[in-house]
Structure 1
Amino acid sequence: MILCLESSILGGYLSNEVPGLVTGQLHLAGLGKPVRVELVGNFMRDIAGCRVDFHNPLPNGDLDDVAWLSPTQVGFTGVMTASNRVSKLPRRRRAGDTVLPDPAGLKNLLFFEWFNEQSQRILIQSWHLHLRVSAPRWQLSAEEDALQFRQARARRKHFLLASSNANDGTSPALHAPGMADPFEPKAPGGDPFADFGALESRSALASSDDKLPPDPTKRAMALAQELRRFERLLSQTHEVRNRPAVVQLLSTVADLAAHLVHVLRQFSAADKSGWHYLVIDLEQSLPLFSAALNATDRLVQQSTPGTDKTWLGHVQASLLNIELRMRELLGLLR
């Protein structure tokens, strides 16, 4: 289950002043007591080591989401940053969530994500919260930040796959901080309290292979493989045939996936004259894949007994992977 709290937040704080631990309190509309937060993990590099206090000038309580929330949030961090750059604001879950107009151009969003013991993904993503960020007590290196981002992405994928199989042997390790973290980096960073200059020196000593720019051709092939996987998933079930709107959306996305696979197989990193057309294809396709992911999320949340949740979980994970790989490839081609 995904719970979005940005409209219900009255105020609170989250602190990452202790490395590897995020603690804090959230005051939510509709709750008489603050929600206590204790998570394993760190903020991203922009606010790592800081305490972030926030206040919502225009709260609009969502009692449906708040009712599902445990008063003590224990789990693992996902992506937690105060500088999430987006061109479009998150889709409102219902009309009238805010009276503030959407700002033009790129937006800088506060984005807090974590996964708790109740198998829930908690999101706070907003541009209008009033923030106060303390000076950092310690700092992440660029290498550690990249490791942490990959770790957060793996947790998100694992959440989508495990949400429909909460009783299997892999889910508890994700949600119980007392157990081993299956996504802990194999090459953890050093002392986070080390001198900032020492961190930069360590990054400078990284191998030359790590400094090589990502290969657009490999990224294109990885995206093509994920699109093919998505096509195969849609051919394996009749799960959504009783929902015409969802069927039409997924059918459109499947046709688009087939087209993109053909385009990506012809992609050549050496022929930069063709990059522009691929960028246009990806930019036009991304909103449809995002809409398909949102529709699949709703199917999971509204599932009835007998629903093939395993298949829906695989579709969710595939669509999320496609969206992430599209954004990554677009970043390389632009």
Structure 2
Amino acid sequence: MDSIVLQRIIAFLEKLLATQATPEALNWLLEKKQLVQASETGKELYLPFSATPRYVGKAPLNSTLEELEQANQLRKGFNPGNWTTDQIARTILLLCLPSENADNYSKTILKLFGNADMGELVALYAALPLLPHPEKFVYQATEGIRTNMGNVYEAIALNNPYPAENFTEAAWNQMVLKTIFTGKSLNKIYGLDERSNPELARMLSDYAHERWAAGRTVTPELWRPVGPHINQTIVSDIKRIFTSENEVEQEAAALACSQSNYPEAQALLEEHPLLKHKIAEGQLDWSQISQKAIMA
């Protein structure tokens, strides 16, 4: 990320923060920002990063659709919709740290990870797609998806373009599977469709079989990454959910088939002309499946 884009992002974040924070909080942040910018070792970042909530609070931003669109224009996939004032302020401090030397910059940031509490981890992981030298934090991020802290996991996995752009296939697949396992919506995973792959489809099919064997159901969203990779084995799963009494599962089966070039999957879709018509007319998509799954 070049310096011009970085400065635009900082200015955007400061504008967002100004709608929620007090003048005293903004003055505090300006003072600390200047200290961090002048830092030669990075140590000036540690105390203000930790103290941020005491000065700027933890109020939700309540960003407008226009602000979210602007965020996405500044950095594709950037979505601060669920951010809080302390997250914004902490991210500003992270972005103000001198970053010309990649090793020194990453060393300072990784030290923050090593001593962070839950709120600090949320800010750090959510800020990853904005940080200079993103390649320096891949190991930290892939280790982070092992966390049992729900808020921290969501900061990495949901509404965050960093995993899609940086994770290996194995790490990506584990993240998607864990998102399902923990009951979170796949619709919030950035790049889900672009990074679907045959191995993930196999893993999700195996997971579904485990659930069915235990007499349990699976979320209809599970079939979204599976659809493009339907094969002779997986098509039997699709046949099964087509026969479900649950209408949303039938809709998910149809959407999965619509993503597939496998002849038997296309034949199954032809057997459900109403669902095929809804998909073709844009009346049925995975976002709707997600909403229905949440409401179920």
When the two structures are superposed, what TM-score results if normalisation uses the length of structure 2?
A: 0.29
Bigger helix fraction: 2
Q: Greater Rg, structure 1 or structure 2?
A: 2
Q: TM (normalized to structure 1)?
A: 0.27
Q: Which has the higher contact order (CA 8 A, sep 6+)?
A: 1
Tell me which protein shows more strand as a share of its residues.
1
